[in-house]
Amino acid sequence: MNEHIDAWIPDLVIGTLDGATRATVEAHLERCDRCAGEVVAVTEALSSVPMSLSPERPDPSVFTNVLASIVEKQPRTEGPTVSARFGDLVDRLVQLFDLTAERVKILLELVDEPAAWRRGAADGITLIDFRGGTRIAAADAGFVRVAPGATFPHHLHVGGEVVLVLEGGFVDEDGTVVRRGGEQEFAAGTSHFFVALPEGCVFAAVIWDGLDFTASPAGGRG
């Protein structure tokens, strides 16, 4: 593994990592003397610091990078890979995320890894966060999973957003049905909600300036 886990070390030392993350970090430490040394140093440094303040959570994309590195180093098994399931969409994801095809394929392998997903804006919504390329460095990038029939709550696009459906689909509030391979772009200032189809939905997203879930739904997408 060539990714270090510095951002997770303080949480490891003070015991605030969840079980799946802790297991991943500890597995990395068994193979990385450099990071193991950092754990010792941080433990010694924090031993004299009051622990009354809530720890700041690391960027979720750091965890994705660790998992992606693990996947990259795993021996290839016989049979189709997860990324092969999305083979017809790889080139479009390369353009969307401004990443290489190899990096996109590694990230796609995480779609079937339960530990890679974190809770999203509401029940039934989970996310995989990662860094896009230089062109979208200022944007949030990742995969979003919406459970069958779940509603992605009403939100305002503070900046622009582009989504590409990878599996399943959703029904937008205006009745538009978007299925696998469908791509939509939302301009800044528009708002909407949508409902996943009975088979659920997984989509790729690039979001500039975040989403506002407190905005009134009166304005709609217009």
**CATH code of 23's domain:** 1.10.10
CA atoms within 13 A on the CB side of 34: 6
Domain that holds residue 182: 82-219
Q: Are residues 38 and 123 in the same domain?
A: no
Q: Is the distance from CB of 161 to CB of 203 less than 8 angstroms?
A: no
Strands (E), the chain: 118-119, 125-130, 140-146, 151-157, 161-172, 177-179, 183-186, 191-207, 211-212
Q: What is the pLDDT of residue 42?
A: 74
Q: Are residues 103 and 213 in the same domain?
A: yes
Tell me which of 19, 43, 58 is where a domain ends.
58
Q: Are residues 110 and 158 in the same domain?
A: yes
In a domain, 125, yes or no: yes
Q: How many domains does the chain have?
A: 2
Q: Are residues 30 and 139 in the same domain?
A: no
In a domain, 63, yes or no: no
Distances from the Cα of 102 to the Cα of 72, 84, 109, 204, angstroms? 10, 12, 11, 16
In a domain, 70, yes or no: no
Q: Are residues 114 and 178 in the same domain?
A: yes
In a domain, 71, yes or no: no
Calpha distance 13→40 (Å, rounded): 9
DSSP structure class, residue 195 = E
Q: Are residues 203 and 129 in the same domain?
A: yes
In a domain, 21, yes or no: yes
- List, for the chain, all residue ranges whose pLDDT scores fall below the cut of 50: 1-2, 51-53, 219, 222
- Containing H/E element for 46? helix 33-46
In a domain, 73, yes or no: no
Q: What is the pLDDT of residue 52?
A: 47
Q: Are residues 171 and 87 in the same domain?
A: yes
In a domain, 64, yes or no: no
Distance in Å from the first CA to the final CA of the chain: 47
Q: Are residues 94 and 196 in the same domain?
A: yes
pTM of the model: 0.70
Q: Are residues 110 and 45 in the same domain?
A: no
